[in-house]
């Protein structure tokens, strides 16, 4: 119950931040305003988030957990490129399911250096999680074998490329994902 309440408060703070950002822009919004809009104190804000950047990136931060779960759910005998492509498609599908709002947040994150930096920090953790999942899937030692981390890095490079193109208003994310994986697929499958 406490975990659910914590998630609800974090989500409300994120929603408040996004509403303010839509009307004022990132640089003009303060932590005090976000907390007041969410109906909590500044102290409560800092119990949930370390910064304004974190409260915005929170909107997309769950994608990493979803990607690891999507990879874990793939058939064990599937080629690594196909499993990773599906993993990225799942994340992009989650973005597309909230298209209008998510697209605005993606554009804000990609267009604001401080937010982009925070989002890349999250992606670094996702890389570790995907590498761990790949290592387990392939019976490799992530501390010794280079493949899991390199493959996870390739998958996240594809994700980032697709996210940027989608954020620019380009084609369907699923088609972009398929195109993005056409290049690294042979390397992913040869080494896996």
Domain residues for the domain of 150 are 62-191
Please check whether residue 57 lies inside any domain of the structure.
Answer: no
pLDDT at res. 59: 72
Residues 122 and 173 both lie in one domain: yes
Residues 77 and 139 both lie in one domain: yes
pLDDT at res. 82: 96
Number of structural domains, the chain? 2
pTM to 2 decimals? 0.82
The angle subtended at Cα 186 by Cα 178 and Cα 94, nearest 5°, is 30
Lowest mean pLDDT: which of 45-54, 74-83, 91-100, 126-135? 91-100
Ordered DSSP codes for the chain: -HHHHHHHHHHHHHHHHHHHHHHH-TTT--HHHHHHHHTS-HHHHHHH-SSHHHHHHHHHHTHHHHHHHHHHHS-TTS-HHHHHHHHHHHHHHHHHTTHHHHHHHHHHHHH-HHHHHHHHHHHHHHHHHHHHHHHHHHT--TTT-SHHHHHHHHHHHHHHHHHHHHHTT-S-HHHHHHHHHHTTHHHHHHH-
Encoded tokens for 72: 């874990």
pLDDT above 80 for 167:
no
Please check whether residue 128 lies inside any domain of the structure.
Answer: yes
Residues 19 and 72 both lie in one domain: no
User: Measured between alpha carbons, how far is 107 from 43 in angstroms, rounded to an integer?
Assistant: 29
Confidence grade of residue 105 (pLDDT, cut at 50, 70, 90): confident
């Amino acid at each position: 119950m406490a975990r659910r309440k914590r998630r609800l408060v974090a989500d409300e703070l994120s929603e408040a931040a996004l509403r303010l950002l839509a009307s004022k822009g990132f640089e003009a919004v303060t932590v005090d305003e976000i907390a007041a809009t969410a109906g909590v104190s500044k102290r409560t804000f800092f119990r949930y988030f370390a910064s304004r950047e974190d409260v915005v990136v929170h909107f997309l931060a769950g994608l990493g957990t979803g990607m690891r779960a999507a990879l874990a759910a793939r058939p064990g005998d599937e080629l690594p490129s196909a499993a990773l492509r599906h993993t990225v498609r799942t994340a992009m599908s989650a973005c597309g399911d909230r298209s209008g709002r998510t697209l605005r947040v993606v554009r804000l994150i990609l267009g604001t250096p401080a937010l982009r930096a925070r989002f890349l920090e999250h992606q670094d953790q996702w890389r570790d999680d995907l590498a761990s999942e790949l290592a387990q899937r392939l019976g490799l030692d992530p501390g010794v074998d280079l493949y899991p981390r390199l493959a996870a890095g390739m998958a996240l490079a594809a994700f980032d490329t697709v996210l940027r193109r989608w954020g620019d208003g380009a084609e369907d994310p699923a088609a972009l994902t398929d195109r993005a994986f056409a290049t690294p697929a042979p390397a992913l499958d040869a080494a896996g």
